[in-house]
Structure 1
């Protein structure tokens, strides 16, 4: 695992700026640094050595000197591709997957990207045509930012790496704040920094003479078949087993993250690592480390765990926002940081269970009751008529059911987080940060691509394109890389996806709350019965309780009362939310954490506007 950054310029590249850019992502690769410059191109690379430790240096130059590669990721079928390339006459100097990517581009051009099985983001500079080619893996496991600014074109693994360059114009993207408050993550293609964009998952581009050409090389489609539940369970068992084996290719020790849920438990049971890692909190109901230890005892594995204190949680928040690049309001990001720090004391690589919920239908929000599904089969005009009548009646049990069921899923589902609705956003934001656009403007293009699908498929499709890459995978990459740790996600594999997309929706749910049923059936030979039935928990964080403690209530109040906050928010509205939570009148902790996370992030990246000292990364 590595990180890269760089820029194209019409003038001779600023080498001093390039080195500062590379230093800003040293956490992504502390083992080695490398640089390339010519009259127009400058690339910095930081390496975390995983495969072929003595070789695989980057940026890597092709044998004829024409192509320069900077690459971040792991390609798990590189040995197969290497054999194919050797049969075509290519010779190799290393055993690294980096060299395979480079020779693959020499042989197949941009088509090589579609042949790669793994997680990756990379650029290749063609010194003859003066063309930059860039690509990102289909799921968006590895990050890629780019920014055209005047005569300079920036590119890199992390947005923060652009900041040291004198040509980079640091400016807040005002429109991003509104949608962040709804989604809890930066939901636009343009980042929180104006002019800086994310390369979308499954996309690649060329940049030449100031012209950017971008397109998708991979798209997701659900293709349910007629196989039985038992057949699908067997296919899942086989393909996940093979994927875990492929994801263990490494010249260093590989560990595993382990919670009490089925996703990481399956990965752990199949990989059988020497060490597993878990974290939790002392608060009752917020600790799964005992469950993780129990499973490890059953499997004969070593489990290393840590209990996170409230003081540690609040102290680390500026560090979290620094490494996140953009505001991050997912509470589980913090325990993931501590989990990564714990594992990095022993290993360089860990396996984890991200992606299972999106592929196999694991979120409880996907689940509907039999009465709900039956009611949804009534014609939409009838449901709307019923909803219109009941909405005018005094509140009664089931009123919300009838109102929600009257609406298409496109009007109610935004993903796995819905923090502020449109009306609330307009109330809490100052006029300069409001917008006529709503969250539906973000979700509608995705729903349109699956307009004829069932509701569950629509929700999965949206989460595959928004929630998964913009929240789940972004925090996973940033928090592990902040600790120089490579995270591998065996569920997010193109072969696993081929099986997952073939499972019909009516097989995915059971009973009142059982999700991803085919995966649970696939796990029967691997895990104890009680693990197979365990509900999804994730990384529960007791922020809801802490914010009712005077110490942290005052912390939040002091932050909201800072002068710079009035630029963005109605401070009285925020203080009212805080009082409602503190007094027990309402649960507003998610709304508050979303706002507070932005305020901390703004202090970190715009200290001059907040009147605070520049943040120094830990």
Structure 2
């Protein structure tokens, strides 16, 4: 695991001083080693966190034997031993035990087809001196980040925006559509960034930069939703357990200690169970407990059930955090873009604690997007059936719900029903976006400076959804795997862990698991209103049932209480007329109206104010001074 950065210039030689500074900016991602390489129009840099082959032989940038190809690489490839054997059979020789050397020589042997053979998480940059071509690539699920910016005559790339912003011509114009989506969803969707001229290389894609310009290609093309599998339910469960055991075992390859985040939920419990089945004797599990404002979200009792059942070396950290210090020190300073999912705060604290004991941790992230773990999937399936309900009945329900009191809790049954009925008569893509918004029916563009709002692209940033082919659920899962998973969950997993030099691996985000999950019929994933049914039912004899079948709780923090309590002084300072008039993006009068309404009892605005607060902090602490 590492961090990478680089420059491809059309104006001539690149400054060694610039690439050195860009590399040093991400030293937290790789404190064990670092280096950079310059060659005419190219400069690439790397910071290394040694995980596989701890010797100096894994130093990057790494050169091919003849020195005609150089690479920097962030991530892990779990099938590197098999690939190395295949390459040896083709005549390649190896000087290290690292997966880095295997990736480099695989590209030399197969070109971009090499990426179709890699099983793992990665962002890679390879410079071919023979063709004067730079190739960038990113793993199939976007586990590892890779930003790309056009800075004058240079194309600059890297694992984090903090490296790119060091370029003297970094383009700071904001992406109006990304800002609009952020205000309503609390994250910036892939492949966009908060900046108009900065993008993220899409998951499962490569990009070539060279004398012939820029070309891109998609190397990960999973099969479309298949017809119902011919396997019986029992056979499907048997294969599920085998696939998960094999995936977890593959994700254990390392030359350093490996642990696991244990939340006490279904997904992390399955990872622990599969570690035990894979033969790990001393499983180190890590859990965070809460006191104070977070106390109602403490799930240590369930984590302890799993730890005791599988006899793990279980360690807990109990925190009574100050939300003000968490916000300033962790969420704002460590994220390069506005990011408002409060779960990132907890991931940061847990990662810091875990890193004091191990260098690698497994996580259950991704299970919901592969096996249908969110209530909104049920909502979409229900709304699809509403097409058969007479219009007058829909209108009556909408009218009744509009008269009911509003709540800041998106899990409140009235709020869920309101979102369902209000989104009934709109296209499927817009319907799903409505279900995932934190702002209800409010048009967030009205909160933006009119000059910014008029630049918002009227089309949805989410891929299209149809309801005519019988695969609605699989389309929803794929949509979340392309947007919410990489843009939100994997983003905060990467930033929160790598800021503490901890590598987090996600066995559910795996090409073998993905291939299998696509063959599992929808009625195995959701059955009798039970989400992730096959996961829970399939592992009920392996994992204690009191954990497997307890209601999904999620992490819903008291945003409204924070804004009315410890964050109130900060909120009033940032949303003062004086401060709002100093910035360009948020429309002052409308923001003040929302604040006044919230403090008068309209608590449905809590998440919107939270998103505005994060954005204004980011703009003043990061964007305006970079």
Normalising by structure 2, report the TM-score.
0.90
Which segment drifts farther, 129-138 or 522-531?
522-531
Name the CA shift for 1:431/1:93 in 2 (closer, same or farther; >3 Å): same
Task: Please list, as runs of the form range in 1=range in 2, the aligned pairs for 1:126-141 lying within 5 A after superposition.
Answer: 126-141=128-143
User: How far apart are the structure 2 equivalents of 1:230 and 1:584?
Assistant: 52
The answer as to whether partners of 1:136 and 1:202 remain within 8 angstroms in 2 is yes
Match of 1:516 in 2: 532
User: How far apart are the structure 2 equivalents of 1:455 and 1:581?
Assistant: 37
2:97 to 95, 98, 116: 95
2:438 to 403, 419, 435: 419
Shift of 1:252: 0.3
User: How far apart are the structure 2 equivalents of 1:288 and 1:447?
Assistant: 36
Shift of 1:188: 5.7
Task: Please list, as runs of the form range in 1=range in 2, the aligned pairs for 1:218-237 lying within 5 A after superposition.
Answer: 218-220=220-222, 221-223=224-226, 224-237=228-241
Name the CA shift for 1:451/1:53 in 2 (closer, same or farther; >3 Å): farther
Match of 1:69 in 2: 71
Shift of 1:178: 1.4
Name the CA shift for 1:351/1:402 in 2 (closer, same or farther; >3 Å): closer
The answer as to whether partners of 2:150 and 2:171 remain within 8 angstroms in 1 is no
Task: Please list, as runs of the form range in 1=range in 2, the aligned pairs for 1:1-80 lying within 5 A after superposition.
Answer: 1-9=1-9, 10-54=11-55, 55-80=57-82
Match of 1:487 in 2: 504
Per-residue CA deviation, residues 196-240 of structure 1 (Å, 9 max, x unaligned), is 111000110110137110121113432242333322221111000
User: How far apart are the structure 2 equivalents of 1:242 and 1:8?
Assistant: 39
Match of 2:492 in 1: 475
User: Does 2:608 align with 1:591?
Assistant: yes
Shift of 1:583: 4.9
User: Does 2:576 align with 1:561?
Assistant: yes
Shift of 1:402: 5.4
Match of 1:434 in 2: 453
The answer as to whether partners of 2:287 and 2:303 remain within 8 angstroms in 1 is yes
User: How far apart are the structure 2 equivalents of 1:509 and 1:392?
Assistant: 30
SS in 2 for 1:290: helix
SS in 1 for 2:567: helix
Which segment drifts farther, 283-292 or 168-177?
168-177
The answer as to whether partners of 1:456 and 1:505 remain within 8 angstroms in 2 is yes
The answer as to whether partners of 2:119 and 2:510 remain within 8 angstroms in 1 is yes
User: How far apart are the structure 2 equivalents of 1:310 and 1:577?
Assistant: 28
Task: Please list, as runs of the form range in 1=range in 2, the aligned pairs for 1:237-316 lying within 5 A after superposition.
Answer: 237-272=241-276, 274-282=283-291, 283-311=294-322, 314-316=325-327
User: How far apart are the structure 1 equivalents of 2:302 and 2:218?
Assistant: 42
Which segment drifts farther, 272-281 or 53-62?
272-281
Match of 1:611 in 2: none
User: How far apart are the structure 1 equivalents of 2:213 and 2:171?
Assistant: 20
Match of 2:375 in 1: 364
Match of 1:202 in 2: 204
Name the CA shift for 1:451/1:69 in 2 (closer, same or farther; >3 Å): farther
Per-residue CA deviation, residues 490-524 of structure 1 (Å, 9 max, x unaligned), is 01111111111111112212334x21101112212
The answer as to whether partners of 1:183 and 1:415 remain within 8 angstroms in 2 is no
User: How far apart are the structure 2 equivalents of 1:319 and 1:500?
Assistant: 35
Normalising by structure 1, report the TM-score.
0.91
Name the CA shift for 1:358/1:168 in 2 (closer, same or farther; >3 Å): same
Task: Please list, as runs of the form range in 1=range in 2, the aligned pairs for 1:323-342 lying within 5 A after superposition.
Answer: 323-342=334-353
User: How far apart are the structure 1 equivalents of 2:256 and 2:498?
Assistant: 16
Match of 1:410 in 2: 429
Name the CA shift for 1:436/1:227 in 2 (closer, same or farther; >3 Å): farther
The answer as to whether partners of 2:3 and 2:158 remain within 8 angstroms in 1 is yes
Unpaired segments ≥5 residues, structure 1: 609-613
Match of 2:471 in 1: 454
Which segment drifts farther, 567-576 or 415-424?
415-424
SS in 2 for 1:412: helix
Shift of 1:110: 1.0
The answer as to whether partners of 1:259 and 1:538 remain within 8 angstroms in 2 is no
User: How far apart are the structure 2 equivalents of 1:436 and 1:410?
Assistant: 21
Shift of 1:388: 5.5
Which segment drifts farther, 25-34 or 211-220?
211-220
User: Does 2:178 align with 1:176?
Assistant: yes
Name the CA shift for 1:578/1:439 in 2 (closer, same or farther; >3 Å): same
User: How far apart are the structure 2 equivalents of 1:515 and 1:332?
Assistant: 21
Name the CA shift for 1:60/1:594 in 2 (closer, same or farther; >3 Å): same
Per-residue CA deviation, residues 238-292 of structure 1 (Å, 9 max, x unaligned), is 0000010010000000011011210011111222453211223224421112321
User: Does 2:547 align with 1:531?
Assistant: yes
The answer as to whether partners of 1:18 and 1:165 remain within 8 angstroms in 2 is no
SS in 2 for 1:447: coil
SS in 2 for 1:285: helix
SS in 1 for 2:59: coil
The answer as to whether partners of 1:11 and 1:40 remain within 8 angstroms in 2 is yes
The answer as to whether partners of 2:139 and 2:203 remain within 8 angstroms in 1 is yes
Name the CA shift for 1:83/1:214 in 2 (closer, same or farther; >3 Å): same
Per-residue CA deviation, residues 354-413 of structure 1 (Å, 9 max, x unaligned), is 11000000111112499x4794462xxx65565467667896899956554454532311
1:119 to 118, 121, 132: 121
SS in 2 for 1:154: strand
User: How far apart are the structure 1 equivalents of 2:555 and 2:158?
Assistant: 29
Paired residues, what number? 601
User: How far apart are the structure 2 equivalents of 1:496 and 1:214?
Assistant: 26
